[in-house]
Structure 1
Amino acid sequence: MKLLKQSLLALLLVFLTSVAALADNSDAVVGVWKNGEGTGMIQIYKSGDKYFGRLVWLKVANNPDGTPRTDINNPNESARKKPLRGLVNMRDFKYVGDNKWEDGQIYDPKNGSDYSCEITLTDPNTLEVRGFIGVSLFGRTDVWKRQVKK
């Protein structure tokens, strides 16, 4: 009986710690996250009262000739020679409470398109990133995993 009480107490402590970790913290999203495909890592950072993200790691960082991969699909021709690594691909997110950041934009270098975006921290190490056109109902969600905190 004593072992059962200790186990339940330990489980309750773990649960409460997890809930506390998700407490209303606007900077909880700051850190390095791996995208759902595992092809890139994005560092989310704060600038002023908004949040941004930049590509800091690519699974395939270089072209077959050894040169760094560039933003070849960018609709702006002058930007096509910029390296993907270091590219700011998330912009202008605002914290709205309840572990959500909204009103941002996300750029997909695979197709050179910008999308409206909102992100939700579902637990301390899991981020749901939803890109959409128009309304959030018509979009796609990718699940990112934390790699490095702040």
Structure 2
Amino acid sequence: MKNIFLLFMAASIYLPVNAQQVKTDSSMSANRIVGVWQTSDQKAQITIIRQDSLYQGKLSNATLSLNKTINLSLPTGLLGIYILRDLKFNGDDRWDGMIFDPESKNTYKCFVKLDNDGKMKVRGYKGISLFGKSQYWNRLK
């Protein structure tokens, strides 16, 4: 009986500590998306931040076709808009949310997934992800 009591006490101490560790590990994994990312066409940089439990991606820099970088202080109309919105971490290095396409001016469902090589797969779609378009973004910071 004494052994059962000791086992119960040890489990009651270990389980909450272990659960806290899992929560911390999950949060750290979810924050891997935070940073500055270069789009695959190298025309834009997206800064991803965490707001509460969701992640947002803001257009922080863009390049004109003349290879001149737009300064953030210039009133371009697009700088500062949120390209990625309400990304929610779903585990396994995947986030689901919405993406805005400035060219078509449409918003689509999207998922973001980190690859083993450090690139980020961004897939926008309507309906099901089978009918969509993917890009691979590179981390800058």
Secondary structure in 1 matching 2:115: strand
Q: Which structure: larger Rg?
A: 2
Letter in 1 for 2:136: V
Letter in 2 for 1:33: W
* Matching residue within 99, 122, 136 for 2:129: 136
Supply the distance in 2 between the matched residues of 1:124 and 1:146 (Cα, whole angstroms). Answer: 11
Return 5+ residue gaps in structure 1 as ranges: 1-22, 70-82
* Matching residue within 8, 28, 35 for 2:32: 28
Decide which structure has greater helix share.
2
Supply the distance in 2 between the matched residues of 1:143 and 1:122 (Cα, whole angstroms). Answer: 9
- Counterpart check, 1:86 vs 2:90: no
Q: TM-score, normalised by structure 2?
A: 0.72
Q: How many residues align?
A: 108
Written as runs of structure 1 = structure 2, the 5 A alignment for 1:91-106 is 91-102=85-96, 104-106=97-99
Cα RMSD, aligned residues only: 1.6
Contact 1:28 1:124 in 2 (8 A): no
Q: 1:66-101 deviations in whole A, cap 9, x for unaligned?
A: x743xxxxxxxxxxxxx2111111111110000000
- The percent identity for this pair of structures is 32
Supply the distance in 1 between the matched residues of 2:30 and 2:105 (Cα, whole angstroms). Answer: 29
Secondary structure in 1 matching 2:88: strand
Return 5+ residue gaps in structure 2 as ranges: 1-24
Q: TM-score, normalised by structure 1?
A: 0.68
Supply the distance in 1 between the matched residues of 2:117 and 2:60 (Cα, whole angstroms). Answer: 20
Q: RCO greater where, 1 or 2, for CA within 8 Å and sep 6 or more?
A: 1
